[in-house]
Structure formats: structure tokens, C-alpha cells
Structure 1
Amino acid sequence: MLKKMLIGSGILVSTVAFLFGAGAWSYLSTSAKMVRDSVTSEIPVEFEVQRAREMVENLVPDIRRCMHVTAEQQVDIENLQAEIDRKTDSMVNQKQEILVLRSDLQSGNKQFVYASHTYSASDVKQDLATRFERYKLSEDSLKRDRQVLAARKKALESNQEKLDSMLVAKKDMEVQIENLEARLKAVQAAETVSTLEIDDSQLTRAKTLIRELNKQMDVKEKVLASEGSLTGSIPVDLKKKTSGNIANEIDEYFESKPEKKSEGKTNNGVARLVPSAN
């Protein structure tokens, strides 16, 4: 399988080189970049945000290692400082003893008594020379220790700054990721609102039905009004009070009028009404 893939790749490269000549590599690199950019653009933003969060979380082991290194350096510095202090105190005592022996030798005595023991001037001189050499070696060792201490302190300071920088960067990136997630949620909410398709067909149908019902009621009312005019009935004012007997009303009305005299013909020959003898 691998052999076939290699052969296929070789054929593809040869074909491209044949078709495009010296610019084949440019075509290949450009095509690869376009494919890579296309794939990258298709990756969801949520995935990239989560990937960024995981990358920040992956900094934790490095931070812990840096913390461990700085802690070890601090302990080493403390131990070395204690050793330097011990050597310094010892050298102070050695110097005092050397000065005492030197002072005794300068006295010119032949013998000296130290701690109930008697020593000749030659013994004291030899011991003084040995002590002096040891003192100088201790002094050189103390000098080197102090140089090592200064170098370790400088390294510790550098590592501490690196650790502090990593902690600050981690915190800053966490805040940025939180902001990204908040912005992403806001954008997603806006996209949901902008792409929300509301089905208003039901609302439209309801409005149409109400309009039709109002139209039907208007038609019925007009039809009823038209049928009333066809019956020929006199409109009655219900507010006007009427008596129960129409005959009595008529009698009362005419009895209240003065009776007119019988009339004949006037001089001009116009006929006049004459009441009946009945």
C-alpha cells in the first residue's frame, strides 16, 4: 500500500513538473496553502476557542516544573548561604589563631605552652605555616562559593521572572478566552435572531377570517334594514306615550275644537256645507 502511494505521489509530482516546468513548486505550494486555508475556514469557532482553552491548560505542567525548579534553587541557595556563613565564621577563628601564633613567634621564645602541652618554636612555626596555607585555601573556596551563590541567585531571579511572566500570561489568556466565549455567545444569539423564521401564516389567516366575519355582519345588517323598508310600516317612536284606545283619543281631539256653523251658498255662488237634519 505504501509503495503504491509513493509511486502515485511520484507520478503526480512528475506530471505537475512536466505541465508547469520551473513553476511547479510554486503551483504546489499555492495549492497546498489554499487547501489549508479552506480547511481552516471551515473549522467552527467553538472548536477553536476550546482548542485555545486546552492550550492554556497545557501550560500548567510547564508552570509546575518551573515552580519546582525555582523551589529547588531557593533551597540550594539557602544551603549554600548557610555553608558560606559557617566558613566565614570558621575563617574568622582561623585568622585569630594565626595572628596569636605569629605574635608568639615574634616574642623570640624557644618554647610555648598551649592547652597544657609544650611546643618548640620550630613546631609552632610549622603549624603556623600549615594554618596559613589552609586559611588561604579556605579563603579561595569561600570566594568561589560566593560566586556560585551570586550566579544561583541570578538564575533564580531569572526563573522567577519567567514563572511570574508565565502566570500573568496564563491569567491574561484565560481572561481573553472568557471574553471570546462571551462574544461568541453574543454573536450566536444575534445569528439566531437574524436567522429566525417566524411562520405568520396562522396570524394572517386569523386576520383574514376576522375581516370576512365583519364583512358578513355588515351585509346582514344592511339586508335587515332593506327588508324593513319593504314592509311599509310606519316608524314608531317608542319614546312617545300612547293611550290604549285610539277611539277615545280621536273623540277627545275633535271635542276640543269649536263646532262650525252650517254653510250655504255665498253670494258669489260658492257652495257651502249644510249640516244634515239627522
Structure 2
Amino acid sequence: MLRKLLVGSAVAALVGGLVFGHEMFSYLRTGAHSVRKAVKAEVPIEFELERARNMVEHLVPDIRHCMHVIAEQQVEVEHLQQQIARREGDLGQQKDAMLTLRNDLDSGKAVFVYASHTYSTKDVKRDLATRFERYKAAEEILKADQKILAAREQNLKANQDKLQGLMQSKKELEVKLEQLQARMETIRAAETVSNLAIDDSQLSQARKLIDDLNKQLDIKQKVLDAEGQFTGLIPVESPETPDTTEDIGAQIDAYFSPQPADAAVVVTE
């Protein structure tokens, strides 16, 4: 299987070289870039936002590690400061002792008494020389410790600034993520409203039905109006009916003229 895959790859590379020539790698890079862009375009924004949020959260271990390193450095600096303070105190005492011995030698005495012990001038000079060499050695150590302290304080300050910047950057990124979240929700809400499909088919059908009913009622009304023009008239076309048009005037006068009261009574009885 592996052999077939290798042979297939070699054949594909050979064919690509023959078709595209020295530009084959350019085509391959362009194709790979296009594929990456297409795949990235298909990734949902929610997924990318969550990925960014996870990246910001991954800053927490770095922040904690930096805090731990800073705490260790602070302890080391404090201990070194205390050590330097002790050395400075010791050197001060050694200096005072040497100056005391030096003043005693200048007094011209041959014998000196310290802590109930007697010492000659030679003993005092030998002791003073030893003290002076030790003092100079301790002073060099103190200077070295001071340089170390300055370097550690500088390193501590740099780490503290780094931690402060890291925490500030994390807060800024969190704010930007919240802004992106709010913006995405706003856009999603706008897309939901714009893509909302309202089914107005029933509304259109109801309007059409009402229009049809109005048309039918209009037709019925016109039919009734047309029929009313030919109802309640005298059937003049019938041949059995005598022609009364000649005395129509007398008939109307007799019908609508008032009758005498007696005649009305007689008729009533």
C-alpha cells in the first residue's frame, strides 16, 4: 500500500512537472493557500470566537508561572538585602576596631591591655594587619553582593513589568472578546430579522376571496335592479285584457277624488 502511494505520488509529481514545468511549486503553493482560505471561510464565527477565548485563557498558566518566579525573586532579594545589611554592620564594627588599635599604636605605649589580656606593640600591629586584610576581603564580598542585588532587583522589576503588561493585555483581550461577542449577537439578531420569512399566502387568499364575494354581490345587485324594472306593471301585451287607455284619466280622478260621507257610511254598512 505504501509502495503504491509512493509510486502514485512520484507519477503525479512527474506529470505536474511536465505540465507546469518550473511553475509547478507556485501552483501548488497557490492551491494550498486557496484551500486554507476556503476552509477558514467555512469555519463559523462562533467557533473562531471560542478559539480566541481559549487562547486568552491559556495565558493564565503563564501569568501564574510569572507570579511564582516573581515571588521567588522577591524572597531572594529580601534575603540578600538582609545579608548585605549584616555585612555592612560587621564592616562598620571592624573599621571602628581597627581605628581604635591604630590610635593606640600612635599613643607610643609598649604594652596594651584588652579584655584583661596584655599585648605588645608587635602583637597589636600583627593583629591590626590581619584585621585590615580581612576587612578588605569582606568589603570586596560586600561590593559583589551589592552588584548581585542590583542585578536581581533589575530583573525583578523587569519581571514585574512583564507580569503587569501580561495581565493588562489579558484584560484588554477579554474586553475585546466581550465586544466581539456583543457585536456578533447584534449581527445575528439583524440577520434573523432580515431573513425572517413571513407567509402571506393566507392573507392574499383572504383578500382575493373578499374581492370575489364583492363581485358576486355586485352581480346579484345588478340582476335585482334589472328585474325590478319589469315587475308590478300592467300586462298590456295580453290580448284578453280590454284596452282601458282611453278613459285612464277619468279612472284616476274617480279613484283619488274624495267620496261623500253618506256614501261612505252606506258602503261601510
1:39 corresponds to: 39
Q: SS at the partner of 1:68?
A: helix
1:165 corresponds to: 165
1:22 corresponds to: 22
Q: CA 1:95–1:23 in 2, change beyond 3 Å: closer, same or farther? A: same
Match status 1:96 vs 2:96: yes
2:258 corresponds to: 250
Residue 229 of structure 1 deviates from its aligned partner by: 4.2
Q: SS at the partner of 1:109?
A: coil
2:149 corresponds to: 149
Q: Give per-residue Cα distances to partners, 1:83-114, cap 9 Å, x unaligned.
A: 11111111111110111111112222222111
Q: Which amino acid aligns with 2:21?
A: G
1:239 corresponds to: none
Distance in 2, Cα, partners of 1:252 & 1:29: 126
Distance in 1, Cα, partners of 2:5 & 2:81: 64
2:134 corresponds to: 134
Q: Give per-residue Cα distances to partners, 1:235-256, cap 9 Å, x unaligned.
A: xxxxxxxxxxxx9x93379x9x
Q: Give per-residue Cα distances to partners, 1:175-221, cap 9 Å, x unaligned.
A: 11111122212222222222222211111011112222233333344
Residue 157 of structure 1 deviates from its aligned partner by: 1.3
1:231 corresponds to: 231
Q: Which amino acid aligns with 1:48?
A: E
Residue 81 of structure 1 deviates from its aligned partner by: 0.9
Q: Which runs of 5+ in 1 are unaligned?
A: 234-246, 256-278
Match status 1:216 vs 2:226: no
Distance in 1, Cα, partners of 2:4 & 2:60: 44
% identity of equivalent residues: 53
Q: CA 1:79–1:41 in 2, change beyond 3 Å: closer, same or farther? A: same
Q: Give per-residue Cα distances to partners, 1:98-140, cap 9 Å, x unaligned.
A: 1111111222222211111222222222211111111111111
Q: CA 1:123–1:7 in 2, change beyond 3 Å: closer, same or farther? A: farther
More helix by share: 2
1:61 corresponds to: 61
2:71 corresponds to: 71
Q: SS at the partner of 1:119?
A: strand
Residue 226 of structure 1 deviates from its aligned partner by: 4.2
TM-score (normalised: structure 1): 0.79
Distance in 1, Cα, partners of 2:172 & 2:129: 64
TM-score (normalised: structure 2): 0.81
Residue 19 of structure 1 deviates from its aligned partner by: 2.4
Greater length-normalized contact order (CA 8 Å, ≥ 6 residues apart): 2
Q: Which runs of 5+ in 2 are unaligned?
A: 234-254, 264-269
Aligned residues: 241
